Amino acid sequence: MAQAVVAVHTHENEKQKQLSIANQKLAMWLYLGSEIVIFSILIGGYAIFRVNHPENVHAVHDNVGLVLVSINTFLLLTSSWAMVMGLREIQRKNRQGFLQWFGAMTVLGIIFIVLQWYEYKELAHLNITLGGTAELYGDFGSRFYTPTAFHGAHVIIGVLWGLLVMYRGYQGRYDDNPVGVEVFGLYWHFVDVVWIILFTLIYLV
Amino acid sequence: MSEEPEETINPPKIENAEIVDQETSQKTMTPGQAETRQESQTLTGEGTPETDVPSVQPAVDVTHGHDEHSDTVVLPFINQTVTVPGGIYTVVFLGLGALTLIEVVLGSVIPTGSVKVIALLAIAVLKALLVVMFYMHLRTDNPIFRLVLGLPLLIVVLSMMYLIAVPPQGGLGYLPPPGPAQEAAAVLTQESSAVATQDAATDVTQEAAAVITQESSAVVTQEAPADVTQEASAVVTQES
């Protein structure tokens, strides 16, 4: 009889746990839905400028190389892979593996930010700045810096959040329920998806 | 779902639910395995039996099919089975890398045009889909998440298409600077307007001149009879 009571309570706890997992993930998806709208406005602003001022964009492409930004793109893709591998490990109760993969993800994110800062420096040397741009490049500056810097801010927040997740994982908080890692993963992968779109639209098209 | 022993509790029925095994292969438990592993149905340790813990079903992994934790992957289209560390995640990563490489090459080689734009955007969308479906687990997760992601995305895409396609004259009030053809048309319009203005001015001038001439004639005519009258009076005076 007592065992039956324990069984009922455990069943209820399990149900609560599953509901909590579903709620947390739904909340993150809803947040990502709002982020889609925000980023789309910024990307749309660039897209309209690209359509109406192709000569300015071509001038920038002629003077700015693709090597640095391509490396950056590979770095972010690799960090996304490291993130999901870390999640896989924590779901297998492998805390050590989780910390290794997450460490790699964080390092790659930091390198991405550093390289992005370096690229901004290079563009500043070409007189492509947020406030004003050389006549050759028109109003490219503001259309470029707004979406990329907003994305960069998201990467910085992601790196800090990732460090927090690593710390909590080290404490063993995700051994039984890794949903916190998965929720962070949704955010990090979304940042990666945004960069995929930005890289293609701004640097290649 | 595998059969439960009598002492265990049936977990709630959750869509896409899979029982996560604690072994490295992460296989779904078969009824036979469930019976032999009855004592180790917990979340702790490396599969070590915990005899003091009540027999409960381990937390059901509602997010992933077991294939996402397996190192064996069946490649689509070619139906080839490969075993790579990391399984499907590594395969997707390699695919993303290859697609990025193709993108960079296309972006550098193909001259700007509609073909380039369509090809690059298609590759970007494919890459985004791979990340969303496999890394964000949208493929195996609750379908409501697809709606949460898809609805704002649809609205945004439609809005973008409208903004890019809206006619440059009016619409949202955005008037881009004229291109070369438009500039030529504007110059022609200005010239024709100037000619019309000149013609109109000439007409006005002519009309004004005609009016002045008429008026002056009228004045002269009025003055002339007065002069004649004076002359006639003078003549009459002389004769008298």
Sign of CA dihedral A163, B97, B104, A41: negative
Phi, psi for residue A156 in degrees, rounded to 5 = -60, -45
Alpha-carbon distances, residue A179 vs A91, A156, A186, A196, B235 (angstroms): 9, 22, 10, 25, 130
Looking at residue B15, its pLDDT comes to 45
Helix axes B143-165, A2-52, angle to 10 degrees: 10
Please tell me the total count of domains within chain A.
1
CA distance A116 to chain B (A): 18
Task: Give the tens place of pLDDT for each residue, A20-78.
Answer: 878 899 999 999 999 999 999 999 999 888 988 888 898 888 888 899 999 999 999 99
Alpha-carbon distances, residue A158 vs A82, A100, A103, A138 (angstroms): 14, 17, 13, 33
What is the spatial distance between Cα A167 and Cα A161, in angstroms, rounded to a whole number? 10
Of the two residues B26 and B94, the one the predictor is more confident about is B94
**Which residue has 């029982």 as its token pair?**
B19
Residues of A in contact with B64 (CB under 8 A): 91
Looking at residue B45, its pLDDT comes to 40
Residue A189 DSSP label: H
Contact criterion met (CB below 8 Å) for B61 and A91: yes
**Of A176-185, B20-29, B185-194, which range is least confident?**
B20-29
Mean pLDDT of B139-146: 90
Taking 80 as the threshold, does the pLDDT of residue B29 lie above it? no
Check CB contact under 8 Å for B124 and A201. Answer: yes
Q: Which residues 128-157 of A are in CB contact (within 8 Å) with B?
A: none
Residues of A in contact with B152 (CB under 8 A): 33-34, 36-37
What is the spatial distance between Cα A141 and Cα A59, in angstroms, rounded to a whole number? 12
Residue A151, domain extent: 2-204
Is B103 an 8 Å CB contact of chain A?
yes
Find, in chain B, the residue whose alpha carbon is nearest to that of A203: B107
User: For A92, which of B24, B149, B155 is closest by C-beta distance?
Assistant: B24
Check CB contact under 8 Å for A7 and B26. Answer: no
Residues in Cβ contact with A203 at an 8 Å cutoff, skipping those fewer than 6 apart: A61, A66, A69, B107
Helix axes A2-52, A54-63, angle to 10 degrees: 100
Check CB contact under 8 Å for A66 and B108. Answer: yes
What CATH number does the domain containing A83 carry? 1.20.120.80
Mean pLDDT of A171-200: 95
Taking 70 as the threshold, does the pLDDT of residue B58 lie above it? no
Taking 60 as the threshold, does the pLDDT of residue B121 lie above it? yes
Looking at residue B62, its pLDDT comes to 43
Looking at residue B22, its pLDDT comes to 41
The single-letter code of the amino acid at A119 is: E
Looking at residue A7, its pLDDT comes to 66
- A-B contacts at Cβ under 8 angstroms: 165
Q: Which three-class secondary structure string do you get for A123-176?
A: HHHCCECCCCECHHHCCHHHHHHHHHHHHHHHHHHHHHHHHHHHHHHHCCCCCC
Q: Classify A132 in phi/psi space as left (phi over 0), alpha (psi -120 to 50) or beta.
A: beta
Of the two residues B73 and A205, the one the predictor is more confident about is A205
| Percent share of chain A, pLDDT over 70 | 94
Check CB contact under 8 Å for A92 and B116. Answer: no
Looking at residue B80, its pLDDT comes to 80
Q: How confident is the model at residue A116 (pLDDT cuts 50, 70, 90)?
A: very high
**Of A4-13, A128-137, B71-80, which range is least confident?**
A4-13
Find, in chain A, the residue whose alpha carbon is nearest to that of B144: A26
Nearest to A84 by CA among A190, A5, A199, A200: A190
**Of A138-147, B44-53, B80-89, B154-163, which range is least confident?**
B44-53
Residues of B in contact with A3 (CB under 8 A): 7, 54
Q: How confident is the model at residue B38 (pLDDT cuts 50, 70, 90)?
A: very low
Residues of A in contact with B68 (CB under 8 A): 88
Q: Which residues 38-57 of A are in CB contact (within 8 Å) with B?
A: 40, 43-44, 47-48, 51-52, 54
